[in-house]
A = this chain, B = another copy of it.
Amino acid sequence: MMKFTAISCLLAFVVINDVMPAFTIAGGLIDMGYGSRGGSMLSASIRSKEPIQPIPISFDCDRAKIELGKKLFFEPRLSKSGWISCNSCHNLSTGGADNLPSSIGHKWLFGPINSPTVLNAKFNLAQFWDGRAKDLKEQAGGPIANPMEMASTHEIAVSVLQSIPEYVQWFKEVYGDENINIDHVTDAIAAFEETLTTPNSRFDLWLRGYDRISKLEEEGYALFKDKGCIDCHNGFGVGGNSFQKFGIVKPYDKDTQTLGRYNVTKNEKDKYVFKVPLLRNIALTAPYFHDASTWSLSEAVNIMAEYQLRIILTDNETNKIVAFLQTLTGDQPSIIFPTLPPSTSITPKPNRNELTTPDCSDADPLNYRGERIIPQTGL
């Protein structure tokens, strides 16, 4: 009995200190039991009361639908030019974003706002900075038809897919219907995007009871809570679950053109109100804010403190909070790059030259001006 106990302890030790990092590197859908292993029970139990929750590691999924959604996510023929896919701006190699001030779209037009990451986007209460799409499925239809992004139409995108026998077969298998429609296209894309979570960040492991963050990082987390950052940045996504004004205690004067949630509600109170961005993997996705006004995470933290909390942080405090934020980088999705089926003689040809007639139904109505928009950051 004594011997058995001793072995158990050793195993617990191994699990915490050696096996865990291996899991972290391997990624994937391993159910690790939500932080309830061996000797770490007690601390995990305490940490389960924290205002940030670890990202679940396993989830139910429809493999065929996700595989189809993955193909569509990487499918350049959903764009008018045949060159731009969802992944062009939500690049899964680079934190699920393009890390540009705003995205490059059809004919090198620039979007009016910084592209948010697709990683963990399922934890957002709504999609887009102004929350105009209620979920990932509704969001997925936007860029396909936005004249400044993929610049196609839902009709053409569907007819491209319908012209390719492999897609017809896959849609039939998943939706029981050979007639492809945009509803099924966006549903499949959203199903794939639902899988794009980043579990096993060092902070999540700490939340589950393992000692995976340093004293400095833990102090940063304490500051993050004490100073009030946590009031908006909490939950699974460390953000994404509320709308807030940018400039609560001091008007944000660097960008007064982008009206945010007001565009959706036409409510005066919603001017400069945005969906609070996720802080998961924030170290991977500079530049920051809807207007990409800074490339520095430290500066971003200081701006938030000043404009949202009326606080001037010391360098030491900023550094600690940044150190904490860096622990939020999780396992990036491990994805086998899809092989897409070839076009056929009836597939609509790509069109690189023509501008799409503005159709504001899917575009941001106030910011889309049918012209090249150069963000204030000038890059």
Contacts and interface: CB of A to CB of B under 8 A. Distances in A.
Contacts of A76: 91, 93-94, 98
A352 B104 contact: yes
B337 A93 contact: yes
Contacts of A283: 342
Interface stretch (A134-142, A205-213, A328-336): A328-336
Interface residues of A, number: 44
Contacts of A332: 339
Interface string A267-285: 0000000000000000111
A51 interface: no
A152 to B, nearest CB: 14
A100 interface: yes
Interface stretch (A80-88, A302-310, A311-319): A80-88
A337 B340 contact: no
A41 B374 CA distance: 66
A351 B336 contact: no
A288 interface: no
A349 B101 CA distance: 10
Contacts of A40: none
B339 A336 contact: no
B100 A82 contact: yes
Interface of A: 74, 76, 81-83, 88, 91-95, 98-101, 104, 107-108, 110, 283-286, 295-296, 332, 334-340, 342-343, 345, 349-353, 374, 378-379
Closest CB pairs A-B (n = 8): A108-B108, A332-B339, A335-B337, A93-B340, A284-B342, A337-B337, A83-B104, A94-B340
